[in-house]
Structure 1
Amino acid sequence: MPGTTGTTGPAGTTGAAGAAGTTGSVDRPTAHAWAALGGPPELLARVAFHGPEDVLPSGLPVRRLARTTVAVCSLAAAELAAHRTGAPVPAVRVDQGAVATAFVSERHLTVDGRTPVTFAPHSGFWRTADGWVRTHANYPHHRTRLLSALGLAADAGPEQLAEVLGRLPAERIQERAYEAGALAVAVAPGSPTVHPLVEHLEVEATAGVGTTAGAVPARPLGTAPLDRPAAGIRVLDLTRVIAGPVATRTLALLGADVLRVDSPRLPEADDAHADTGFGKRSTRLDLATPADRAVFEDLLATADVVVTGYRPGALDAHGLSPEALFARRPDLVLAQLCAWGWTGPWAGRRGFDSLVQVGVGIAAHEAAHEAAHEAVDDAAGPDPDGRPGVLPAQALDHGTGYLIAAGVLRSLVDQRTRRPGGRHLRFSLAGTASWLLHGIEPEAPHTASPEPYDPSRWLAETDSAFGRLRHALPPIGYEGAPADWSRPPGRWGTDEPVWL
């Protein structure tokens, strides 16, 4: 992936390429992520980990990334719970088995015993004339665009796709797909760009609503139960696929009234919504029509949080740029998510976890790691095929989702304890990838865990509008945390566009 020079993180923290200092027994990645979120460092002593260690095996420190993102989200929830109950901050104890299970929640999902297909036949790695490319064609419109960009008929099968891709250079495929609005990324050895884990933007400077002293205070929250610290918080969820929906699914777990809003022209896959729709409601509004736009504006007028998951600038035409949002709601918490980072030549490109892994060098790194292990295990040496590798989970998606939820929870406290006014946070899958590649120390080899990993311990079944669901339980772990969501997912887009 082409890029610009490295960037630093928010004021007072290091960027994704740095490692935050720590003292005593505080976990270094947790200290780094908590500092990036602006969390009080004295609360880090509340965090502990337990459970199986031989989970999410990888050549990169995926286990540490996963447990850290859940830990800071749990700590942020505990901090908000203490603020609203008046009690001390509860202890945080994160179970690594629960984390590992939640990070592959889409793989554990079954619907009436049926296991959903994670990737469509036209998605995956393909050999090209000079290397490898990865495509993402899970949505029908992405598949149609990809086939059209390559001169194939709309009903062309994977075999025809493979034949065409095998004759073309990987970068040419990538650029032709990009120009057509399709998704294909050439496997790269690495990226020179280092994106920050979290970006904090000054709302006053962005929206022009005055000085800090004149900032509009957020509304008082009042008390809330320990297991629902976000009770009464209204969240507009403008996200899709995994990372954003994981964030809002987590906020719903903690008691927030989360309403997902989608365009009726951009349908969602039932299986994806069955996995990430827990605890939330879902409606469809066409912001290009006056009637639906008026409904949305009424929702926004009393929302506390807006979470978006679209490319930079994609929502601006609908009056939903950060400047426009804060001009109307200067006390808002806005959390934005994109794939490739907020600066650089790829900032405006479409992307998913699997493609970001390819573009930033993770796929090449994991291929080398797997090849080394095969060489040790097989006297004949590694498979010469050279197929790129993958992480053991969509870890960029899930990890970023928990970071977003943590950032929102922290902002709710920060607005009411430090300074009033809105909060503007930006996250990216590329930022989380930079942190995984450069900001977390590699794990030392360890012996087999004395506590074997059995994911069934963190799975549950519930009835829903989709049928009987087997699903992963939430991994949020603080004393008094909720054990499950209050409601199963409903059908996508069928709820009324109103707050509860």
Structure 2
Amino acid sequence: MEQRSWARLWAALGGDPALVEHVRLVPRGLPAPVLPARLPVRELGRATVAVCALAAAEWAARRAGAPVPAARVDDGAVATAFTSERHLRVDGRPAATFAPLSRFWRTADGWVRTHANYPHHRARLLTALGVPDPGDDGDEGAAADAVAAELADRRAEDVEEAVYAAGGLAVAVRTPERWAAHPQGTAVAGLPLVGRERLDDAPPPPLPPSGPRVLDLTRVIAGPVATRTLALLGADVLRIDPPDMPESADAHADTGFGKRSTLLDLASRSGRATFEELLAEAHVVVTGYRPGALDRFGLSARELAERRPGLVVAELNAWGGAVGPWGGRRGFDSLVQAASGIAVAEGKEDGRPGALPAQALDHGTGYLLAAAVLRSLTEQHGDGDGGTRHARLSLARTAHWLQHELSGAPETVAGAREPYDPADWLTETVGPLGRLRHAVPPVAYEGGPDGWARPPGPVGADRPEWP
């Protein structure tokens, strides 16, 4: 079996190399390959889910005082989970994915990619371009035509800077060579794929029998996929959103499985006090906001460690965090694909930029983030090792791994490849949001859970407290 990809990942996570043999792969792809792309997206999916499943098996064994069970990676489950937002149905209705103004646009010298799924990002994009906002009930098609006309006469990098200055999201589509020469591309290439740091020697706080308590301060896909996975594996996950900018209902329906959801204004005195009460009993904090955005609330890793020694802090960012001129910028999977050269590598024959067959940077980084948390917990609670742990990942570094370090060599798996039909990895759950058709979890090991303990509820429906 081809193990090189996940063996290297497992080593980056500090795992015992001998455990790699515990991973069992079920290859699928008839009548067509899963996650087809020019870049090795299938291998990215397999590798990230494999190390997450192995970390889950190791953590379960540690808690039970038992041998590490075999982990199972099924191409069908991986491919379906990596496109979970596309398969989601809410009472039969497809979920909303990309908004009309989130797309590629032709510019005077090339292409630019915008992201306007959130109302405030859409408003800032239109403001930066001088295009009137038609409002919620206005003609979105006319707005798109006006944006297209405005961008056609501008240089892509000028648009990038103007929209960023206005607080919006747009990046010029670059070739891999241009990104490699860009200061941010150079900085990201020098980062570890999984940054891991031990901040002190503090003993970890005792775990309740039900599992670790996780504070989830993430948005969109990557971070919520990580915490959805932790919830699958028994963690008590409490998702926290600001009252004025809650997550979109459809995104929450996809990634809210197994979690509770609350609204908390960290800028208010009462909100901060409530958060500190939650933190005092938490074991893990996962953050996914723009780097520095939470620092004003005292939520940097070191400040959290001072107030809750023995914590696991896992941070996700788009462009690399503390390094490079773009490290602190907002970003999303689609924008990283455009800037890093992936959109060109996956481009169309007519020269138009393309995209990966899934939001693979998001999903893959999400499973890596969950694996980093699980490995940190295992290390903390094994042989009295302890220590506050800090893990850092970025979408841009995952993109570099996909483009330059991940092998797409032919596999050497014994046996015939199995058929793939995504319907085989979809199920239905009825809950507070209605009847949800959704992907089953791809993270699996012998004796492990095959589904979440609870369906998602409405955003903000739960009290900000631990049971």
Do Structure 1 and Structure 2 share a fold, with TM-score over 0.5?
A: yes
Match status 1:40 vs 2:16: yes
Match of 2:380 in 1: 415
Listed one character per residue, the Cα deviations across residues 248-278 of structure 1 (whole Å, up to 9, x for unaligned) are 0000001100001111121211000000000
What are the within-5 Å matches in structure 2 for residues 159-238 of structure 1? 159-190=145-176, 191-192=179-180, 193=186, 194=189, 195-204=191-200, 215-221=201-207, 231-238=210-217
SS of equivalent residue, structure 2 residue 238: strand
Listed one character per residue, the Cα deviations across residues 185-234 of structure 1 (whole Å, up to 9, x for unaligned) are 10001222214211112313xxxxxxxxxx22113447x6xxxxxx3210
Structure 2: unaligned runs, 5 residues or longer:
135-141, 181-185
Contact 2:49–2:78 (Cα < 8 Å) also in 1: yes
In the alignment, the residues of structure 2 paired with residue 402 and residue 474 of structure 1 have an alpha-carbon distance, to the nearest angstrom, of: 11
Match of 1:253 in 2: 232
State which of 228, 244, 248 in structure 1 corresponds to 2:223.
244
State which of 140, 158, 161 in structure 1 corresponds to 2:144.
158
Listed one character per residue, the Cα deviations across residues 264-305 of structure 1 (whole Å, up to 9, x for unaligned) are 121211000000000001101111111111111000001000
Contact 2:223–2:286 (Cα < 8 Å) also in 1: yes
TM-superposed deviation, 1:439: 1.2
Contact 2:43–2:408 (Cα < 8 Å) also in 1: no
SS of equivalent residue, structure 2 residue 419: coil
SS of equivalent residue, structure 1 residue 461: strand
Contact 1:26–1:44 (Cα < 8 Å) also in 2: no
In the alignment, the residues of structure 2 paired with residue 451 and residue 201 of structure 1 have an alpha-carbon distance, to the nearest angstrom, of: 41
Letter in 2 for 1:169: R
SS of equivalent residue, structure 1 residue 404: helix
Instruction: Return 195-204 or 174-183, whichever deviates more.
Output: 195-204
Match status 1:315 vs 2:311: no
Match of 1:433 in 2: 399
Match of 2:338 in 1: 358
Match of 1:210 in 2: none
In the alignment, the residues of structure 1 paired with residue 270 and residue 293 of structure 2 have an alpha-carbon distance, to the nearest angstrom, of: 21
Match of 1:464 in 2: 431
What are the within-5 Å matches in structure 2 for residues 64-103 of structure 1? 64-103=43-82
In the alignment, the residues of structure 2 paired with residue 345 and residue 199 of structure 1 have an alpha-carbon distance, to the nearest angstrom, of: 19
In the alignment, the residues of structure 2 paired with residue 246 and residue 430 of structure 1 have an alpha-carbon distance, to the nearest angstrom, of: 17
Listed one character per residue, the Cα deviations across residues 403-457 of structure 1 (whole Å, up to 9, x for unaligned) are 0100101101101225211000100001111110111112339999742210111
Match of 1:478 in 2: 445
SS of equivalent residue, structure 2 residue 305: helix
Q: CA RMSD of the aligned region, Å?
A: 1.7
In the alignment, the residues of structure 2 paired with residue 398 and residue 247 of structure 1 have an alpha-carbon distance, to the nearest angstrom, of: 8
Match of 1:324 in 2: 303
Contact 1:108–1:472 (Cα < 8 Å) also in 2: yes
Match of 2:418 in 1: 451
Match status 1:271 vs 2:250: yes
Letter in 1 for 2:382: T
Contact 1:202–1:423 (Cα < 8 Å) also in 2: yes
In the alignment, the residues of structure 2 paired with residue 168 and residue 26 of structure 1 have an alpha-carbon distance, to the nearest angstrom, of: 47
In the alignment, the residues of structure 1 paired with residue 299 and residue 225 of structure 2 have an alpha-carbon distance, to the nearest angstrom, of: 22
Match of 2:107 in 1: 128
TM-superposed deviation, 1:401: 0.5
Contact 1:341–1:427 (Cα < 8 Å) also in 2: yes
Match of 1:401 in 2: 366
In the alignment, the residues of structure 1 paired with residue 416 and residue 36 of structure 2 have an alpha-carbon distance, to the nearest angstrom, of: 12
SS of equivalent residue, structure 2 residue 445: coil
SS of equivalent residue, structure 1 residue 157: helix
Contact 1:97–1:453 (Cα < 8 Å) also in 2: yes
Contact 2:26–2:74 (Cα < 8 Å) also in 1: yes
TM-score between both structures, scaled by the size of structure 1: 0.86
Contact 1:84–1:221 (Cα < 8 Å) also in 2: no
TM-score between both structures, scaled by the size of structure 2: 0.92
Match of 1:491 in 2: 458
Match status 1:286 vs 2:265: yes
Contact 2:2–2:411 (Cα < 8 Å) also in 1: no
Match of 2:137 in 1: none
Contact 1:218–1:416 (Cα < 8 Å) also in 2: yes
Contact 2:214–2:235 (Cα < 8 Å) also in 1: yes
Letter in 2 for 1:133: V
In the alignment, the residues of structure 2 paired with residue 221 and residue 235 of structure 1 have an alpha-carbon distance, to the nearest angstrom, of: 11
Contact 1:196–1:434 (Cα < 8 Å) also in 2: no
Judging changes above 3 Å, is the alpha-carbon distance between structure 1 residues 446 and 181 closer, same or farther for their aligned structure 2 residues? Answer: farther
Contact 1:26–1:45 (Cα < 8 Å) also in 2: no
SS of equivalent residue, structure 1 residue 408: helix
Structure 1: unaligned runs, 5 residues or longer:
1-24, 205-214, 225-230, 372-383
Listed one character per residue, the Cα deviations across residues 165-187 of structure 1 (whole Å, up to 9, x for unaligned) are 11111001100010011001100
Match of 2:357 in 1: 392
In the alignment, the residues of structure 2 paired with residue 304 and residue 221 of structure 1 have an alpha-carbon distance, to the nearest angstrom, of: 8
In the alignment, the residues of structure 1 paired with residue 416 and residue 354 of structure 2 have an alpha-carbon distance, to the nearest angstrom, of: 25
TM-superposed deviation, 1:52: 0.5
- List 4+ stretches of structure 1 deviating above 6 A: 445-449
Listed one character per residue, the Cα deviations across residues 361-391 of structure 1 (whole Å, up to 9, x for unaligned) are 1111111xx53xxxxxxxxxxxx3x110100
% same residue: 62
TM-superposed deviation, 1:85: 1.1
Match status 1:51 vs 2:27: yes
Listed one character per residue, the Cα deviations across residues 332-368 of structure 1 (whole Å, up to 9, x for unaligned) are 000000000121111011100000001111111111x
How many residue pairs get aligned? The number is 444
TM-superposed deviation, 1:464: 2.1
Letter in 1 for 2:440: L
Letter in 2 for 1:402: Y
